[in-house]
């Protein structure tokens, strides 16, 4: 079976979006999984491109139909996010290698259903990551910053060992990190074009 699904995970601010962006820039047969959310679109965001923007009712309806097999609720944002199967199936049937940014629950589901390769993007060190997160989000109060750091430390300690690969994304080394991920994909039988 041809492998077409790749999970790129990691803490918020680890660079997973940037790594996926680098790969998509260079490979036309790759696509990003567009997930479903109940949050409103921000300025410049497009439905079906950035997210599938659903009302709570529509999200619940798709959930009931089995079209959202895994989801999470972010209480701080009062928002649901979930893997939207119709979008995934459409990309797969178009022959795309699909990159999914999901948490450990989504990673396990995609591994089980689609034989997904799972890669966890790690910061170089907790200290370096703290500095990166702080400089990216100076508006965060200490309480929010500390809560995010606890989540990060949990993800690195508890979740990262459950992924097939862990790749360090050091500051200023995005191209090298993306190249390492592409090497892993080729080694694992993904046909990047």
Q: Are residues 25 and 102 in the same domain?
A: yes
**What pLDDT score was predicted for residue 21?**
94
Establish if 42 belongs to a structural domain: yes
Task: Report the pLDDT value the prediction gives residue 1, as an integer from 0 to 100.
Answer: 54
For residue 178, count CB atoms less than 10 angstroms from its CB and return exposed for 0-12, middle for 13-18, buried for 19 or more. buried
Residue 74: per-residue pLDDT: 81
In a domain, residue 38? The reply is: yes
Q: Identify whether residues 49 and 71 lie together within a single domain.
A: yes
Q: Residue 50's domain spans which residues?
A: 34-82
Token pair 């910061």 in the structure block, residue = 123
Q: Are 129 and 177 contained in the same domain? A: yes
- Number of structural domains in the chain: 2
Q: What is the pLDDT of residue 35?
A: 93
In this prediction, residues 147-155 reach a mean pLDDT of 83
Q: Does 146 share its domain with 164?
A: yes
CA–CA gap between residue 81 and residue 193 (Å, rounded): 30
Its pTM stands at 0.88
Instruction: Between 98 and 141, name the one with better pLDDT.
Output: 98
CATH code for the domain of 20: 3.40.50.300
Q: What is the domain-level CATH number for residue 43? A: 3.30.63.10
Last residue of a domain, one of 82, 117, 140: 82
Whether residues 158 and 189 fall in one domain: yes
Nearest to 22 by CA among 179, 133, 188: 179
Residue 143 φ/ψ, nearest 5 degrees: -60, -45
- Tell me the average pLDDT of the chain: 91
Let me know how long the chain is.
193
Residue 170 belongs to some domain of the structure: yes
* Residue 139 CB partners (closer than 8 Å, separation 6+): none
Give percent of the chain above pLDDT 90: 66
> What integer pLDDT is reported at residue 172 of this predicted model?
87
């Amino acid at each position: 079976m041809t492998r077409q699904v790749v999970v790129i995970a990691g803490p918020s601010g680890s660079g997973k979006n940037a790594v996926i962006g680098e790969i998509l820039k260079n490979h036309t047969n790759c696509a990003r999984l567009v997930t479903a959310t109940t949050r409103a679109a921000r300025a410049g965001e497009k439905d079906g491109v950035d997210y599938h923007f659903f009302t709570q009712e529509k999200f619940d309806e798709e959930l009931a139909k089995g079209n959202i097999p895994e989801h999470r609720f972010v209480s701080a944002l009062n928002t649901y996010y979930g893997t939207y199967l119709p979008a995934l199936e459409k990309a797969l049937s178009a022959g795309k290698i699909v990159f999914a940014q999901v948490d450990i629950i989504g990673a396990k589901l995609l591994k089980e259903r689609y034989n997904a390769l799972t890669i966890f993007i790690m910061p170089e060190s907790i200290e370096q990551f703290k500095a990166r997160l702080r400089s990216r989000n100076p508006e965060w109060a200490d309480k929010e910053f500390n809560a995010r750091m606890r989540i990060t430390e949990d993800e690195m300690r508890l979740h990262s060992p459950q992924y097939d690969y862990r790749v360090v994304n050091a500051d200023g080394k995005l191209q090298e990190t993306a190249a390492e991920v592409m090497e892993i994909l080729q080694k694992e039988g993904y046909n990047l074009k």
